[in-house]
Amino acid sequence: MTAKIFHADVEVGTELPAQTFPVTRATLVRYAGASGDFNPIHWNERFAKEVGLPDVIAHGMFTMAEAIRVVTDWVGDPGAVVEYGVRFIRPVVVPDDDQGATIEVSGKVAAKLDDHTVRVDLTATSAGQKVLGMSRAIVRLS
């Protein structure tokens, strides 16, 4: 059980625990089945390369969902996320091997807002490059 996080106890600059999320081709197949997004750039290496990508890439919405887990794990309640948005700036390239790729995500409280909310800025990288830009969540605290 996660302890409640109180607005009064959180300061600007508070760092959320960073997390690393593995992504394999099997992960992408499961996500495609769950989401209904069967675009071949997410599973067919030949097709991905024909359209100019370096290899198969993770779904943008999958990448976005993994990133917000840092916030929901920290606050302990996915319903506390009031608003969330990102810009997709680079794809997560997922090679066809036993390791796949990883998405590294860190977060920091950037501002305390009204109504017991805070803005959390996230940084998401893969292969040493930023994959999401302007990744921000508004979170309601106790």
Cα 39 to Cα 47: distance, rounded to the nearest angstrom: 10
Domain count, the chain: 1
What mean pLDDT comes out for the span 71-96? 97
Q: Where residue 105 sits, what CATH number does that domain have?
A: 3.10.129.10
Cα 18 to Cα 37: distance, rounded to the nearest angstrom: 28
Residues 6+ away with beta carbon under 8 Å from 123:
105, 106, 107, 130, 132, 135
pLDDT in tens, 95-117: 999 899 999 999 999 999 988 99
* 48 part of a folded domain: yes
Strands (E), the chain: 15-23, 81-88, 101-112, 117-126, 129-140
* 116 part of a folded domain: yes
Cα 68 to Cα 9: distance, rounded to the nearest angstrom: 21
Q: What is the pTM of this model?
A: 0.93
pLDDT in tens, 54-78: 999 999 999 999 999 999 999 999 9
* 1 part of a folded domain: no
Confidence of residue 3 (pLDDT cuts 50, 70, 90): low
Residues 6+ away with beta carbon under 8 Å from 44:
56
Contact 131, 105 (CB under 8 A): no
Task: Bin 36: left if φ > 0, else alpha if -120 < ψ < 50, else beta.
Answer: left
Residue 78 domain boundaries: 7-140
Is 1 a residue whose pLDDT tops 80? no
* 16 part of a folded domain: yes
* 2 part of a folded domain: no
Q: Which of 7-16, 39-48, 102-111, 123-132 has the lowest mean pLDDT?
A: 7-16
Contact 110, 117 (CB under 8 A): no
pLDDT in tens, 17-59: 999 999 999 999 999 999 999 999 999 999 999 999 999 999 9
